[in-house]
Amino acid sequence: MNQTVQISPSDLDAQRTYCAQIADHWSARGRTPSAYVETYGCQQNEADSQRIRGMLLTCGYRMAEGPEGADVVVMNTCAIREHAEQRVFGNLGALTHTKRRHPEQKIFLCGCMAGQREVVERLRRSYPHVDGVFDPQALWRFPEILYRSLTTGKRVFPTELSPDSIAEGLPVLRDSRHKAWVSIMYGCNNFCTYCIVPYVRGRERSRRPEAILDECRALIAGGCREITLLGQNVNSYGKDLDMGWDFSDLLAAVAELEGDFWIRFMTSHPRDAGKKLFDTMAAHPKIAKQLHLPFQSGSSRILKAMNRHYDRAEYLKAVEYAKSVMPELVLTSDVIVGFPGETEADFEETISLISQVRYDALFTFIFSPRPGTPAAEMPDPTPKEEKNRRFDRLCGLQNAISEEIHRGYIGRTLTCLIDGREGGLLTARTEGGRLVRLEGPEDLIGTFAPVRITGATTWSLTGTLEA
């Protein structure tokens, strides 16, 4: 049984000492070092990268725009599909050149690829320019790994994977003052048969509610207007804490904090997304009426083979209830095409589910066998061309639905959170999370404003500020 380790304050103090020693190392050389952190994969990795940047800042580094000339490069990787890994190996290969031009450069690889022993071994053997590797459970030890590499010049490769851990109070460098990711739990216990995440991120473990609420309070006091609670399966929150708190209780407690902000969360697993969650969302105005509820397949037979623990009818029932208590709900989802053994009839069920639910947007994936997962061993007779054909048909259907739904926004005035600037226009999000582009002054960034929607495409909306 894999036990969760709560990283002790003294262990974290020791890491702070490494940070101070690294800062001394650079000030003795009379210059400010630079660091570049590249993130692949999901929001969990984005959140982890913000902690890595926070640690680097504490060590005296400034952030660089790219790997060229940076003293430290950290690749925070994703292992979810083969393509994701190939991109990392490709970009890692290219770093041999940046390192040749700047031989002092230190290159580290972390994230989900570092949670696979075979990958770590391949990096050790075939990528000699990589100075060190650490898995997601060892994130908090990065200062020590960096210090060892800087002072000994030796490569730092773990011989085994780290135990599951929770480390509170790591420094964090967020890229926006107005939006923040807050991890509420780590790991996953679901073992969907196609998925690598439980193998690389360990078992589910929840942060204590006080720690989460304190972090949210500090964010709101600092001007944060949008908090996204993160976990691979947020509905399992609290099961390991024995406090009688579930995710809905946590969500309600965050929603009751003082201040003007929206709360979002992801990801919800349909297996335990029930009435209590949807009633809580409906009852609290600060909880954005947005739900990402991955269905993966419309065929109950395939869902069983995926080990998803719900069938088509149960999924549809949950969606129906959610929509009944939140008529404005914006619903998004993930779907996998071409799971081993998916027949034309199974695929038709996926198509009909999409037509019936009418998602605002879908994240669509072609099945990618991940070594070590059960689905990678399942017979998969469907040719690649056939899978591509199904994929294209599904995307065509969804794009048409997204565009129709977006057109329905035209003429409406919605409260939006203005969150940035891109190519001369402000960017904003509706409560449902839809992207809106509009003209307006930069000082509106970080505020809520009424926006009249004037145009729509499959992917986004355009609008004007309402006086």
Closest distance to ligand SAH from the beta carbon of 232 (Å): 4
DSSP H or E run through 215: helix 209-221
Establish if 68 lies at the interface with ligand SAH (CB under 6 A): no
CA angle 100, 105, 106 (to 5 degrees): 125
Report the partner that residue 52 touches, choosing among ligand SAH, ligand F3S, ligand SF4, none (CB closer than 5 to 8 A by kind): none
- Could you tell me the smallest distance in angstroms from the CB atom of residue 333 to ligand F3S? 15
Q: Which does 198 bind (CB under 5 to 8 A by kind): ligand SAH, ligand F3S, ligand SF4, none?
A: ligand SF4
Q: How far is the CB of 190 from ligand SF4 (least distance, A)?
A: 4
3 state SS for 342-362: CCHHHHHHHHHHHHHHCCCEE
User: Would you give the distance in Å from CA 117 to the centre of its chain?
Assistant: 23
Q: Which residue number, 78 or 220, has a Cβ lying nearer to ligand F3S?
A: 78
Q: Is 80 in the site for ligand F3S (CB under 6 A)?
A: yes
Q: Which long-range contacts (CB under 8 A, 24 or more apart) does 20-23 make?
A: 21/147, 22/59, 22/60, 22/143, 22/146, 22/147, 22/150, 23/58, 23/59, 23/60
The SS3 assignment for 315 reads helix
Q: Are 462 and 437 in contact (CB under 8 A)?
A: yes
As a whole number of angstroms, the distance between CA 304 and CA 283 comes to 33
Q: Residue 273, interface with ligand SF4 (CB under 6 A)?
A: no
Q: Is 188 helix (H, G, I), strand (E, B) or coil?
A: coil
Per CB under 6 A, 189 contacts ligand SAH: no
Give yes or no for residue 43 binding ligand SAH (CB under 6 A): no
Q: Which is nearer to ligand F3S, 150 or 337 (CB)?
A: 337
Residue 247 in the binding site for ligand SAH (CB under 6 A): no
Site string for ligand SAH, 315-344 (x = CB under 6 A): -------------------x-x--------
Backbone angles phi, psi at 368, to 5 degrees: -125, 115
Quote the least distance from Cβ 243 to ligand SF4, whole Å. 23
Strands 179-183 and 165-166: unpaired
Residue count at the site for ligand F3S (CB under 6 A)?
A: 12
88 lines the binding site for ligand F3S (CB under 6 A): no
Selected binder of ligand F3S within 37, 73, 79, 303 (CB under 6 A): 79
Burial class (CB in 10 A: 0-12, 13-18, 19+), 462: middle
**Rounded to 5 degrees, what are φ and ψ at 91?**
-70, -30
Q: Does 230 bind ligand SF4 (CB under 6 A)?
A: no
Q: Let me know the angle formed at the C-alpha of 5 by 199 and 264, rounded to the nearest 5 degrees.
A: 65
Q: Is 308 in the site for ligand SAH (CB under 6 A)?
A: no
Q: Is 440 left (phi over 0), alpha (psi -120 to 50) or beta?
A: left
Residue span 179-208 as binding mask against ligand SF4, x where in contact by CB under 6 A, dash where not: ---------x-xxx--x-xx----------
Provide, rounded to whole angstroms, the least separation between the CB of residue 294 and ligand SAH. Answer: 4
* 368 touches ligand SAH by CB under 6 A: yes
Q: Do 34 and 61 contact (CB within 8 A), yes or no?
A: yes
Helix axes 344-357, 312-325, angle to 10 degrees: 10
d(CA 270, CA 306): 13
Q: Which region among 257-265, 367-375, 381-389, 413-421 touches ligand SAH (by CB under 6 A)?
A: 367-375
Position 367 contacts ligand SAH (CB under 6 A): yes
Q: Verify binding: residue 112, ligand F3S, rule CB under 6 A.
A: yes
**Ramachandran angles phi, psi of 107, nearest 5°:** -120, 125
Residue 145 sits in the site that holds ligand F3S (CB under 6 A): no
> Which two structure tokens, joined as six digits, stand for 119?
């990958």
Q: Which does 112 bind (CB under 5 to 8 A by kind): ligand F3S, ligand SF4, ligand SAH, none?
A: ligand F3S
Nearest to 281 by CA among 240, 331, 224, 219: 331
Question: Applying CB under 6 A, which part among 78-86, 89-97, 357-365, 400-408 lies near ligand F3S?
Answer: 78-86
Whose CB is nearest to ligand F3S? Answer: 41
Among 110, 119, 170, 197, binds ligand F3S (CB under 6 A): 197
From the list 106, 174, 178, 201, which residue makes contact with ligand F3S (rule: CB under 6 A)? 201
Q: Interface with ligand SAH by CB under 6 A: which residues? A: 80-81, 194-195, 197, 232-233, 267, 269, 294, 296, 334, 336, 365, 367-368, 370
Binding site for ligand SF4 (CB under 6 A): 188, 190-192, 195, 197-198, 232-233, 269
Q: By CB under 6 A, name the binding residues for ligand F3S.
A: 41-42, 44-45, 78-80, 111-112, 196-197, 201
